[in-house]
Amino acid sequence: MSIIICFNNKDPKPWQETLQTKLPDTTIEIYPNVTDSEAITFALCWKPEQNSLAQFPNVKVVQSVGASVEHIIQSQDLASDCVVTRIVDNRLSEDMFEFILTGILSHLKRFAEYQKAQKEKQWQQKPYKTIQNTSIGILGLGKIGTHVATKLAQVGFTVKAWSKSEKTLVNVSCFYGNDGLTDVLQNTDILINILPLTSATENILNLKNLSQLNKNGYLINVGRGEHLVENDLLRLLNNQHLSGALLDVFRTEPLPENHPFWEHKNITITPHIAAITNIETASGIVVTNYKNLLNEKELINVVSIEKGY
């Protein structure tokens, strides 16, 4: 029984050290340096290489080191007795809320424009928007989406939210299914995407949907790059239907140097940092699941491979 850490675009060392402290008698190795492939029963993953887990025939649990699992489900051909789990952590939800609130307020108060004006030593007052007069639409009501929607409503925004199945939240107007999507898009100033990536949600941020937002609408994408049809966003920014976008996730990460988003004056780019898994809080979840596997107890935060989240 041992653990393999398979990370791409993320440093595995701090995870190995932290887990080793909590599980001193367990062998914890970093892919691809493995002494005994057959001994691996638990894989901790972030964007594992295509089918890389196939070389560990006894893997029973594939634990995502983040909230999302599409990077595992889409890249691995998992055995039918293999379970996929993810991180569900209040710290992650709160970090996401703080990131989104920062993005919304700096948009309403036009901070990016003032930063540019400062570089040019220009003193020019512009009208600003208020929380009370701003309506927000949220796509995705999983653990993180629910937290963000609830807290934005508490701050005073008008909040609508959309999910696949029916949900009810205090002070948030909830819609679901294909019909409900239009209700969330229309009469909305700021759209926030926190959906999981599945075949049903891929390309959901497209011309047809984004053009239903209010004139001068704003997009915040913290879901996945594959949710966004990039040329549709550029078109809606360039014809001034949308006033801007804050993008934290991209089809290719890191965003290639020659990508047009870098240069666009109305796009703000952050390097996938909206909510980073906190090693202190999240390693406890990983250890619990590893011990549950050892003791044949029920695993926590299990996802449906069929649904994709």
Which of the ranges 62-70, 147-155, 173-181, 200-208 carries the binding residues for ligand GLV, by CB under 6 A?
62-70
Q: What does each C-alpha distance from 148 to 12, 81, 222 come to in angstroms?
A: 29, 34, 12
Other Cβ atoms closer than 10 A to 151: 18
CB-nearer residue toward ligand GLV: 68 or 209: 68
Phi, psi dihedrals of residue 84, rounded to the nearest 5°: -110, 130
Based on CB atoms, which residue is closest to ligand GLV, 91 or 129?
91
Q: Is 235 tagged catalytic? A: no
Chain positions 245 to 304 lying near ligand GLV, rule: CB under 6 A, are 277
Question: Using the 8-state DSSP alphabet, how is residue 42 labeled?
Answer: E
Which residue's structure tokens are 């108060």? 109
User: By C-beta, is 2 or 193 nearer to ligand GLV?
Assistant: 193
Single residue of 23, 28, 67, 192 touching ligand GLV by CB under 6 A: 67
| Angle between helical axes of 90-108 and 111-119 (0-180°, round to 10) | 60
The rounded distance, in Å, linking the Cα atoms of 94 and 279 is 15
Which lies closer to ligand GLV via its Cβ, residue 209 or residue 277?
277
Are the C-beta atoms of 210 and 237 separated by less than 8 Å?
no
For ligand GLV, give the closer residue by CB, 3 or 67: 67
State the nearest-atom distance from the C-beta of 243 to ligand GLV, in Å.
26
Taking CB under 6 A as the rule, does residue 53 contact ligand GLV?
A: no
Secondary structure letter of residue 77 according to DSSP: -
Is 224 known to be catalytic? yes
Query: Which residues have a Cβ under 8 Å from the Cβ of 123 and sit 6 or more positions away?
Result: 117
Per annotation, catalytic residue among 86, 147, 227, 272: 272
66 sits near ligand GLV (criterion: CB under 6 A): yes
Catalytic residue among 86, 147, 224, 227: 224
CB of 34 to ligand GLV, least distance (A): 25
- Among 63-71, 127-135, 253-261, 279-287, the segment contacting ligand GLV (CB under 6 A): 63-71
Q: Break the chain down into helix, strand, coil percent, rounded to 5.
A: 35, 20, 45
Helical ranges in the chain per DSSP H:
13-22, 70-73, 90-108, 111-119, 143-155, 177-185, 207-210, 230-238, 279-294
From the CB of 239, what's the least distance to ligand GLV, in Å?
A: 30
The residue at minimum Cβ distance from ligand GLV is 66
Q: Which positions touch ligand GLV (CB under 6 A)?
A: 66-68, 277
The residues assigned a catalytic role are 224, 272
